[in-house]
């Protein structure tokens, strides 16, 4: 009888151990909750960020799942409609984020996190709650940024005359095609008219039919007039980045010598391609030393202590060092503090030549202004992108331009009546330029 007894005792012990393992696993799952982060990086670009999240998880004891998509707005709207938002979403449009805040979807930052909401990427604005009380709050924090208002060119092309230069043009970008053209219009207006006029226009206080706005479109038309007549039309079906066959960077093709593009594009170029201010390449523009900037901002859509903790981590020096260490040298992100290579576990990661040049321009700027179309209400932003595509079909036809500007003005008036414009301040001195930056 002893053998069956020992067998029964062994079986009971095994069952108890298995049960304990299940309980232990359940407890571990409770102690290590999963947070979902929705963001814009895909196709390998997300790998350094995922490694950064893993490092953060080692410190916090939490588990983070990153979901990247090029259709951020559509994905997030669908998730909100089904009441299944991510814990944190990283978006690049403060105008769109403001809409989520007004609708009660994006949550206001608690005081301990609000200090990470620095301008011009994360302005505070008033929102009225269900009780009718209005308070100015911040709703998102910038996790990485990029400099615009720059032109990239190969060595030896920096001073080539306008008659010798060919501008790289690529407007194709899926659901958001046309944004490289809106960048051109915004930058030309900023450089010629200054940041005060730029800010009025971007925040809906200046008509699209105003002559100063019209001048920016004409300036772009004049630049296009120096190119082959087909360049504008061809750009409608040319990707802003991809050359096909796993080749990237329009300057790596054979047909253009200058590219007006944000600092992120450096990942496709070696040391022979360097950036300089737009005013260096466009005749007649004053040297204002002002630049457009864009950003990827994190907002909480499912509030919890763990979500707020993640925002603090994403804006911390440790997470930035982890991100820099995980990325290839040409793909290291820029941060709102005006830095890119930082000191991590592997030592100091010095910026590449192109990255260092961008940082010098950024930190030496008199003003940096958030991307105008990104700050506009989403419907106006989309209309602006479509107008650029129509303009490029006939860039020298004044009647076409008049019609497009009237349509955009009608949309602006409509959005003003609906109080869709929320943001007022888009320009500030760069944080990295101050002694404490």
Map out the domains of the chain as residue ranges: 34-145+294-356, 147-292+367-433
Q: Is the pLDDT of residue 191 over 80?
A: yes
* Whole-number average pLDDT of the chain: 88
- Quick one: what percent of the chain has pLDDT higher than 70? 87
- Quick one: what percent of the chain has pLDDT higher than 90? 73
Whole-number Å distance between alpha carbons of 235 and 321: 38
Residue 84: predicted pLDDT:
96
Q: Which DSSP state fits 122?
A: S
298 confidence band (pLDDT: 50, 70, 90): very high
Residue 285: predicted pLDDT:
95
206 confidence band (pLDDT: 50, 70, 90): very high
Q: Is the pLDDT of residue 175 over 80?
A: yes
Q: Is the pLDDT of residue 361 over 90?
A: yes
> Token pair of 237, please?
């079906």
Question: Thinking of the domain 34-145+294-356, which architecture would CATH place it in?
Answer: 3-Layer(aba) Sandwich (3.40)
Residue 12: predicted pLDDT:
38
Element housing 74 (H / E): helix 72-81
Q: Is the pLDDT of residue 160 over 70?
A: no
Residue 340: predicted pLDDT:
74
Contacts of 177 (CB under 8 A, 6+ apart): 171, 236, 385, 389
197 confidence band (pLDDT: 50, 70, 90): very high
pLDDT tens figures, 13-50: 444 344 444 444 344 444 567 999 999 999 888 999 99
Residue 339: predicted pLDDT:
74
Residue 138: predicted pLDDT:
95
Contacts of 379 (CB under 8 A, 6+ apart): 411, 415, 420
Average pLDDT over residues 385-397: 96
- Per-residue buried b or exposed e for 184-217, using 16+ beta carbons within 10 Å of the residue's own CB: bbbbbbbbbbbbebbbbbbbbebbbeeebbbebb
Same fold, 34-145+294-356 and 147-292+367-433: yes
Q: Is the pLDDT of residue 8 over 60?
A: no
SS (H, E, C) 341-378: CCEECCEECCCCHHHHHHHHHHHCCCEEEECHHHHCCH
Which of 48-57, 81-90, 347-356, 413-422 is predicted with the least confidence, judged by mean pLDDT? Answer: 347-356
Average pLDDT over residues 136-154: 95
Element housing 57 (H / E): helix 47-60
Residue in this structure with the two tokens 């003005």, named with its chain if needed: 409
Whole-number Å distance between alpha carbons of 296 and 311: 13
Look up the pTM and report it.
0.88
- Is the distance from CB of 263 to CB of 353 less than 8 angstroms? no
Helix (H, G, I), strand (E, B) or coil at 300: strand
- Whether CATH 2.30.110.10 fits 147-292+367-433: no
Residue 134: predicted pLDDT:
83
348 confidence band (pLDDT: 50, 70, 90): low
- Is the distance from CB of 273 to CB of 168 less than 8 angstroms? no
Instruction: Give the residue from 67, 105, 97, 247 showing the smallest Cα distance to 170.
Output: 247
Instruction: Give the residue from 189, 180, 357 showing the smallest Cα distance to 261.
Output: 180
């Amino acid at each position: 009888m002893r053998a069956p007894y020992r067998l029964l005792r062994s079986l009971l012990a095994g069952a108890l151990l298995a049960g304990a393992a299940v309980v232990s696993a359940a407890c571990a799952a409770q102690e290590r909750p999963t947070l979902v982060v929705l963001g814009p990086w895909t196709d390998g670009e997300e790998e350094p960020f995922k490694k950064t999240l893993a490092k953060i998880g080692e410190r916090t004891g939490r588990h983070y799942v990153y979901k990247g998509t090029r259709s951020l707005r559509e994905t997030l709207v669908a998730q909100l409609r089904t009441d299944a938002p991510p814990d944190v979403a990283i978006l690049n449009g403060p105008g769109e984020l403001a809409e989520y805040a007004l609708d009660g979807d994006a949550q206001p930052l608690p005081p301990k996190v609000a200090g990470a909401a620095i301008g011009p990427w994360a302005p505070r604005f008033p929102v009225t709650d269900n009780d009718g009380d209005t308070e100015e709050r911040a709703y998102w924090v910038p996790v990485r940024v990029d400099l615009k208002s720059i032109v990239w060119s190969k060595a030896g092309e920096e001073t080539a005359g306008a008659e010798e230069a060919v501008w790289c043009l690529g407007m194709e970008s899926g659901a958001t095609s046309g944004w490289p053209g809106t960048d051109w219009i915004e930058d030309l207006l900023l450089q010629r008219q200054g940041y005060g006029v730029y800010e009025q226009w971007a925040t809906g206080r200046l008509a699209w039919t105003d002559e100063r706005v019209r001048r920016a479109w004409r300036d772009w038309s004049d630049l296009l007039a120096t190119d082959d007549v087909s360049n504008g039309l061809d750009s409608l079906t040319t990707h802003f980045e991809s050359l096909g066959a796993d080749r990237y960077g329009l300057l790596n093709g054979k047909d253009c010598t200058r590219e007006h593009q944000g600092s992120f594009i450096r990942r496709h170029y070696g040391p022979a391609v360097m950036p300089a201010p737009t005013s260096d390449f466009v005749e007649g523009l004053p040297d204002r030393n002002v630049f457009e900037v864009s950003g990827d901002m994190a907002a909480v859509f499912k509030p919890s202590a763990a979500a707020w903790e993640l925002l603090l981590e994403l804006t911390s020096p440790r997470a930035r060092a982890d991100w820099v260490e995980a990325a290839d040298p040409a793909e290291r992100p820029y941060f709102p503090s005006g830095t890119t290579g930082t000191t991590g576990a592997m030592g100091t990661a010095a910026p590449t030549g192109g990255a260092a040049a961008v940082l010098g321009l950024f930190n030496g700027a008199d003003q940096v202004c958030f991307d105008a179309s990104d700050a506009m209400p989403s419907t106006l932003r989309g209309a602006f992108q479509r107008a650029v595509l129509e303009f490029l079909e006939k860039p020298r036809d004044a009647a076409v331009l008049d019609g497009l500007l009237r349509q955009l003005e009608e949309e602006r008036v409509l959005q003003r009546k609906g109080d869709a414009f929320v943001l007022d301040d888009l320009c500030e001195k760069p944080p990295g330029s101050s002694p404490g930056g």
